[in-house]
Chains A and B, each alone.
Chain A
Amino acid sequence: MIPKAYRSILLLALLVLALASGFLSLNFGSIPIAPSEIFSIFLGPLNTHIGFHEPSPEHTTIVLQLRFPRILLALLGGGSLALAGAILQGLFRNPLADPALIGVSSGGAVGAGLVLLMASSARLAPTLWDNPYTLMLAAMTGSILSTYLVYQLSKTGGRIHVPTMLLCGIAVNAFGGALVGVMLFSADLDTLREITFWGMGSFSRAPHTAVFTATPLFLVLMVLLLRQSQALNVLLLGNAEALHLGYDPHPIHRRLILLCGALVGLSVALCGSIAFVGLVVPHLVRLLVGPNHRFLLPASFLVGAILMVMVDLLAANLLEHANIPIGILTAFVGAPFFLYLLLGARRKEIV
């Protein structure tokens, strides 16, 4: 763990690193674009005063409509999953919690899958279904509903019973999986492909306009969640202890679940399901800055964002003519890493 005094410096360094990695990865791709040209593209009409070379129109389109939205989504989506993971781990007082674990992600997947299916088959109002906003709304609704369902089922006498909640999460996940299965079963080949690929996660499938519209929503949810850090710190002590310290755990639980559900749903709608970010990133960050949520939450967001930009860079450039689905890469790297963490922790306990 790094000393307390350096935590703020670390946060600043991570922020710079996130912005820098985002900017750098704008340069890469099948057509390399020089940093100075990217500057001039973003400066737009201001550029004439500064005197960079005039950017070519194709490059402007590539940067503004393809790369920038993709990287923005990698930053926001990856950061959100890591943030939600950190919060859920605090909420359940269990360092192994993950948005996928309690059904948040699968609820979103059901909502989104339903919209994708309707888009391919509905005769009524086709533009309504074949629409990124409907997808966003449906995934958010699905996430919030499934979280709320799990929350209600595991509440006894006004309190959340955590083991029940984890088990309910498993049940909701299984049920969500079955619903997605039914959709896949009844879908035509194109939709099958669409739902499958969407499920594997990608930052480049969402249209750029949807990414830009979602950005303020991401930021608002993030800020609201970051403001809960002191409440989360107190909750780590336990429900009774939180109450004694003036924090009523019940409404805090409700607020956190609603906000996390919305954030994860939004990210699922735009990027599909990306596993292990919400689990591994907060874990790593906790080793670095400790469990204090005032540092843990922003640091998790930033590390998640940096990591996803890197993974996205790999996914977009590893194969010449195809984007590898992000979820595949994160699972390949995340699963062994998670086992390593788990076994490492166990060995430490034995010693």
Chain B
Amino acid sequence: MIEAKGITFSAGSRKLIKAVTFKLQPGKFYGLLGPNGAGKSTLLRILNGEIQPDKGSVFFDERKLTDWSLTALAKIRSALPQRTELSFDYTVEEVVALGRSPFNDSQNESTQGPEAIQASLESFHLEKLRNRSYLNLSGGEQQRVQLARVFTQIWRPKGDPTSRFLLLDEPTAGLDLAHQQQLLERLQESARQGTTVIAALHDPNQVAAHADSLLVLAEGKLVADGKVEEILNNTLLKRYFGVETETLRTAKNGKAFSFRAPSPPPSQR
């Protein structure tokens, strides 16, 4: 379980996150929506421990984030930043293998490490690219390598009950349609196995089809928090994103949104 209690963060005189409080339950996939500049990345960076909030605290499994040892946390929590800049000529496999760095001191790493790497390479269709140079890949392929690295980090053998956390900032960026779809299914599957997943996304249809719950940020405030079924609707999309939508029903009785002609963006903030 991840808990944020009254988190406030400002950069200079600008308040980026304003008194945000929420709980993320284990085994659930949370979509994080919000217009550009709403504070999604900042919030994820606070949850990751990259930046310290001015006020409030973050708890992982009821233990304050600052009380966790970095290595212990790295074994159960992995994170994908919005962009990773790598200017050195690692092979795909080497980048993915770096995901196992927190386990260097673990006893059964010599067997589990390669297994984790292999599983992640397979699940992001990277087996054929494994010996290729990371720098020669396309943007979408690089994103898949980073995702594989992130999944490798918290990989466990099937049935391992350790609670795990996955925090992803725009993981679908740069991926083609098929890989976006597969990634979202992969996130759902991780959640089903007990991992707490939170991912910043932009497409309400992807949230509607795959996520269990939804957090909506607008101007640094948490403006909606609840089950996707209950809170994701035309009014919310109109109010915070300024888009006119029509709700359609899918065959499996889910929701989908069809966009109408563009309307002017919400008042510039």
Q: Which residues of A contact B (CB under 8 A)?
A: 1, 90, 93-95, 230, 233-234, 236-238, 240-241, 243-248, 286, 290-292
A292's nearest neighbour on chain B, judged by CB, is B94
Task: Of the listed stretches B83-91, B121-129, B216-224, B256-264, name the one at the interface; the rest are far from the partner chain.
Answer: B83-91
Additional A-B contacts beyond A93-B88, A95-B88, A243-B49 (11; CB < 8 A): A90-B88, A237-B84, A237-B95, A237-B98, A238-B86, A240-B45, A247-B101, A290-B90, A290-B91, A291-B88, A292-B94
A233 touches B98 (CB 8 A): yes
The main secondary structure of chain B at its interface with chain A is: mixed
Return the contact of B70 from the options A1, A95, A248, A290 (Cβ within 8 A): A248
CB distance from B45 to the nearest CB of A (A): 7
B51's nearest neighbour on chain A, judged by CB, is A157
Chain A residues with Cβ under 8 A from B87's Cβ? 93-95
Given contacts A243-B70, A246-B73, contact A236 B101 (CB under 8 A): no
Query: For the complex, what is the distance from the CA of A94 to the CA of B85, rounded to whole Å?
Result: 11
Query: For the complex, what is the distance from the CA of A286 to the CA of B94, rounded to whole Å?
Result: 14
Does B188 sit within 8 A of A, measured CB to CB?
Answer: no
Return the contact of A237 from the options B45, B50, B74, B86 (Cβ within 8 A): B86
A291 touches B49 (CB 8 A): no
CB distance from A203 to the nearest CB of B (A): 32
Does B164 sit within 8 A of A, measured CB to CB?
Answer: no
Among residues 93 to 107 in chain B, which have CB atoms less than 8 Å away from a CB atom of chain A? 94-95, 98-99, 101-102, 104
Does B79 sit within 8 A of A, measured CB to CB?
Answer: yes
Query: For the complex, what is the distance from the CA of A240 to the CA of B41, rounded to whole Å?
Result: 12
Chain A residues with Cβ under 8 A from B70's Cβ? 243, 246-248
A93's nearest neighbour on chain B, judged by CB, is B87
B48 touches A240 (CB 8 A): yes
Query: For the complex, what is the distance from the CA of A116 to the CA of B94, rounded to whole Å?
Result: 48
Chain B residues with Cβ under 8 A from A243's Cβ? 48-50, 70
B71 touches A246 (CB 8 A): yes
Chain A residues with Cβ under 8 A from B99's Cβ? 245
Q: Which residues of B contact A (CB under 8 A)?
A: 45, 48-50, 70-71, 73-75, 77-79, 81, 84-91, 94-95, 98-99, 101-102, 104, 153
A245 touches B98 (CB 8 A): yes
Chain A residues with Cβ under 8 A from B74's Cβ? 244-246
Query: For the complex, what is the distance from the CA of A240 to the CA of B90, rounded to whole Å?
Result: 18
B72's nearest neighbour on chain A, judged by CB, is A246
Chain B residues with Cβ under 8 A from A247's Cβ? 70, 101
Query: For the complex, what is the distance from the CA of A1 to the CA of B133, rounded to whole Å?
Result: 10
Return the contact of A290 from the options B71, B75, B79, B89 (Cβ within 8 A): B89
Return the contact of A234 from the options B49, B50, B75, B101 (Cβ within 8 A): B101
Chain B residues with Cβ under 8 A from A246's Cβ? 70-71, 73-75, 101-102
Chain A residues with Cβ under 8 A from B75's Cβ? 246
Return the contact of A238 from the options B45, B71, B84, B90 (Cβ within 8 A): B84
Return the contact of A286 from the options B48, B89, B102 (Cβ within 8 A): B89
A244 touches B88 (CB 8 A): no
A238 touches B85 (CB 8 A): yes
Chain A residues with Cβ under 8 A from B88's Cβ? 90, 93, 95, 236, 286, 291
Chain B residues with Cβ under 8 A from A234's Cβ? 98, 101
Can you report 20 A-B residue pairs in the complex whose CB atoms are below 8 A from each other? A1-B89, A93-B88, A230-B101, A230-B104, A234-B101, A236-B86, A236-B88, A237-B84, A240-B48, A240-B81, A243-B49, A244-B48, A244-B74, A244-B79, A245-B102, A246-B71, A246-B101, A247-B70, A291-B90, A292-B94
CB distance from B150 to the nearest CB of A (A): 8
A231's nearest neighbour on chain B, judged by CB, is B101
Query: For the complex, what is the distance from the CA of A262 to the CA of B118, rounded to whole Å?
Result: 41
A245 touches B89 (CB 8 A): no
Query: For the complex, what is the distance from the CA of A245 to the CA of B74, rounded to whole Å?
Result: 5
Chain B residues with Cβ under 8 A from A248's Cβ? 70
CB distance from A109 to the nearest CB of B (A): 30
Query: For the complex, what is the distance from the CA of A275 to the CA of B49, rounded to whole Å?
Result: 41
CB distance from B156 to the nearest CB of A (A): 16
Query: For the complex, what is the distance from the CA of A290 to the CA of B104, rounded to whole Å?
Result: 21
CB distance from A12 to the nearest CB of B (A): 22
Q: Among A233, A237, A244, A292, find the residue whose CB has the most chain B CB atoms closer than 10 A.
A: A244
CB distance from B12 to the nearest CB of A (A): 12
A246's nearest neighbour on chain B, judged by CB, is B74
Q: Among B49, B84, B88, B98, find the residue whose CB has the most chain A CB atoms closer than 10 A.
A: B88
Given contacts A240-B48, A246-B75, contact A233 B84 (CB under 8 A): no
Query: For the complex, what is the distance from the CA of A243 to the CA of B79, rounded to whole Å?
Result: 10
Q: Which 4 A-B pairs have the closest CB atoms?
A: A246-B74, A291-B88, A246-B71, A246-B102
CB distance from B129 to the nearest CB of A (A): 15
A238 touches B94 (CB 8 A): no
Query: For the complex, what is the distance from the CA of A237 to the CA of B94, rounded to whole Å?
Result: 11
B74's nearest neighbour on chain A, judged by CB, is A246
Q: Among B84, B91, B94, B98, find the residue whose CB has the most chain A CB atoms closer than 10 A.
A: B98
